[in-house]
Amino acid sequence: MIEVTINGEKTNLDDNTTITQYLDNLNIQLGYAAIAVNQDIISKHKYHEYQLKEGDIIEILTPMQGG
């Protein structure tokens, strides 16, 4: 198990969990959202190969509407 922080909350994940696996486990559909790991935006086409590591800080970023 590894401990990561996702949107400010610590959580435990299985070793070798990819971004895609994490999102699938939570039934999250990103649409226009983006994922940043340790303040670096990860390209959507790399989600399936990017393995999360102990101590990673993940932010799920969604666009805000305003006016």
Query: How far out from the chain centre does Cα 44 lie?
Result: 11
Q: What is the pLDDT of residue 29?
A: 72
- Measured distance CA(28)–CA(20) in Å, rounded: 9
Region 57-65: mean pLDDT is: 83
- pLDDT above 70 covers a percentage of the chain that reads 94
- The answer to whether 32 and 62 are in contact (CB under 8 A) is yes
Q: How many CA atoms lie within 13 A of 66 on its CB side?
A: 3
What are the structural domain ranges in the chain? 2-61
3-state helix, strand, coil in the chain (%, to 5): 15, 35, 50
Region 30-45: mean pLDDT is: 89
CATH match of 2-61 with 3.10.20.30: yes
